[in-house]
Structures are given as structure tokens and as C-alpha cells.
Amino acid sequence: MLEILLILLKIVLIVVPLIIAVAYLTFMERKIIGYMQVRIGPNRVGPKGLLQPFADTLKLLLKEVIIPTNANRYLFLIAPILSLAPAIAAWAVIPFGMMEATETSPAKPLALTNIDASLLYILALTSIGVYGVLIAGWASNSKYAFLGAMRSAAQIVSYEIAMGFALVGVLMAAQSINLAEIVNQQSGGIWQWYWLPLLPLFIIYLVSGVAETNRAPFDVAEGESEIVAGFHVEYSGVAFAVFFLAEYANIILISMLTALMFLGGWLSPFESIPVVQDWFTWVPGMAWLLAKTCFIMFCFLWFRATFPRYRYDQIMRLGWKVFIPITIIWILVVGVAIVMKLPPWFDAA
């Protein structure tokens, strides 16, 4: 009984900060893009506009959920849940740090569950998210929504392949598909992190992550000038808010995964630099992880403020004809490097 309560407590400790992070990510998005476009951004609700996300949420909660005529009622209402559930369930295996070894137990990762195949688990769950989009578009009984769903689903499926191959490179380099183990394999300073030996895969993972979450410049699924708002055009009130939550939870998830797999997770960037590393020993590992995650999230917003939207055929070309071949070649390179025990990255294994 106590065990179940402990697990529930852990879930609350992950989900509540996640939802607050989503709320403030929307706020930061409006603020940062505002500053980049020499505007102020929201500044009315609360000090410096800090309560704006709560005002938005409250407004959405109070609005009516309209179900379009001839829409498929049950599927219409299930779709937002189907897109949110995988986005949150994936957090079950994310390690947030390493617990020090005590007398009674060895060092183990700070996560809800530490399963062996955690990377595969995340890959499987993120691939389910596309059902929410597809069903929402179909059940709305609207041409705009359907077109948006088709575009978005095709895009997600295409980029998933490149993303999966990028992960293959990571798990080959780490010799493990456990996320905590992958981070531990990167210890030894900033040059040991996988962004350097797997640089093409790092870039491809980051860009595919942007495409996978349907963010600008790959946001043709909700290209305002073409198909209004894409697959969720018919949604209002709470149902819309749930889609919103899922999209931003996915952004945070992808950012954290990038930080874990390519930027050394909770490892300090000053590791193995003689004097400097002692100055930062007091910083907890989770702070480094969150800082890295925030940096990637900032990049997502930065991309959105910088690049014009891609043309649809160019998106498909980039995914299938550029990214996938590059990842396959780099997997080969990593394989050869592992066999040759190429120092300084692959000699340990």
C-alpha cells in the first residue's frame, strides 16, 4: 500500500511541475518572440505579465466545448486525450539525475521507473501521439481539419524514421538503451558528450524534433494562411487546451531527451577542467539538466522567430532524401569507430 502511495507521489512530483512548465513555456514563447520582434509581449496580468498563462487557462476552461454537426462524437472527444496521454506517459522513464550510492543501496537514477529499454519505450510512446492528430482531423467532419491531420501525420511519420535512426547511433555509442546509462557513458567533460562524435545525428535529432512537434518552420499542419489552424480547427475550450498541453509537453520532452542523449544530461559542463570543476561541485545535477533543457527549448522559440515556413514538398524531401541517408551513413561511421576503438570517445568500450 505504502509503495503504491509512494509511486503516486512520484507521479504528482513529475506531472505538476511539467504542467507548470508548459504554462510558462507558452508565456516565454510570447515574451521571447516579442523581444525578438522588438515588441514587449504580454505584460498586463500580474507583475510583468507573469500570471498571463493562468488567465489563458481559466478562459479556456470556462468556454463551451462545441461539437460540430455530424462529427463523430466519441472519437472527437477521445482524440485530445489520445494526444496528451503518450506525451505525459513518456515521462515515466526520464531520469532526472543520479542518486548517490548509500550503504544500503547502490547508485541509481532518479526516475519514476528505471527500465532496461527506456529509450525504446519513449520511441514507442511518441509514435502513438500521431493517433490524436489523425482521429481529431477525421472526427471533426471538416475539410480543413482533415487536410491538416493528413499533413501533420505524414510529416510526423516521416521524421520519426530519421529520429529513430539518430537514436540508433546514440545507443550504439553508449552500448545501452537505458537513458541513465547513456548519460553515465558521456561523463568526462564537455568534449565527451555525444554532440561532438555524433554531430550529424545531434543536428538531425534536433531538427526532426522540431518537425515532429509540428513547430515552425515545419508547421505546415497549422499553416494559418492555408488551412486555418490545421487538425484542431474545430476544437474549443478544454478540448483545445488539452491539445495545446500535449504539444508543449512534447516540446519539453524532446528538449529534455536531446539534453540527456547529446548534451550530457545532469553532468557538469566543467567536468575534468582542473580548477574550474571544483568551483561548481555545489551545483546539483538536476540544475544542469534543466539548464540544458531550457537552452534547447529556447532554440525551438528562436527557430520560430527566425525561419520562414518550409514548403510541404521541401519538408518531405528533407526528411526522406537528406536526413535518412545521412543518419544511415553516420551509423556506419559509428560502427566502424566502435570496432576500431577510436579514442577519445569509443576506446572505453
Partner 1 sequence: MFTQILFYGYAAILLISAILVVSARNTIHSALFLVLAFFTCAVIWILLRAEFLAIVLVLVYVGAVMVLFLFVVMMLNVNLEPLREGFVRNLPVGILVALIVAAEMFLVLSTKGFKLAEQSELALVDATGYSNTKAIGAVLYTDYLYAFEIAAVVLVLAMVTAIVLTMKKSVNTKRQNPGHQVRVKRKDRIRLIKMDSEPVNRKTGDTKSDDAEKGDVK
Residue selected from 23, 25, 88, 125 as contacting partner 1 according to rule CB under 8 A: 125
Q: What residues does 108 pair with on adjacent strands?
A: 99
* Nearest residue (CB) to partner 1, 41 versus 86: 86
Indicate the SS3 state at residue 135.
helix
Q: How far is the CB of 232 from partner 1 (least distance, A)?
A: 17
349 makes contact with partner 1 (CB under 8 A): no
**At which residue does the C-alpha cell 471538416 appear?**
142
Contact 338, 174 (CB under 8 A): no
**At which residue does the C-alpha cell 582542473 appear?**
274
10, 97, 182, 210, 230 from 203: Cα distances, Å: 33, 24, 18, 11, 27
Contact 107, 100 (CB under 8 A): yes
317 makes contact with partner 1 (CB under 8 A): yes
- Taking each helix axis from N to C end, the angle separating 199-212 and 237-262, rounded to the nearest 10 degrees, works out to 180
* Nearest residue (CB) to partner 1, 25 versus 145: 145
* Nearest residue (CB) to partner 1, 177 versus 207: 177
Q: How far is the CB of 135 from partner 1 (least distance, A)?
A: 7
Read off the amino acid at residue 82: L
331 makes contact with partner 1 (CB under 8 A): no
Q: Which of residues 127-166 bind partner 1 (CB under 8 A)?
A: 127-128, 130-131, 134-135, 138, 146, 150, 153-154, 157, 160
Burial of 304 (0-12, 13-18, 19+ CB in 10 A): middle
* Nearest residue (CB) to partner 1, 160 versus 222: 160
Angular region, 299: left φ>0, alpha ψ -120 to 50, beta rest: alpha
Stretch that binds partner 1, among 11-19, 277-285, 312-320, 323-331 (CB under 8 A): 312-320
Q: Which of residues 159-178 bind partner 1 (CB under 8 A)?
A: 160, 177
* Nearest residue (CB) to partner 1, 110 versus 154: 154
Q: Which residues bind partner 1 (CB under 8 A)?
A: 75, 115-117, 120-121, 123-125, 127-128, 130-131, 134-135, 138, 146, 150, 153-154, 157, 160, 177, 313-314, 317
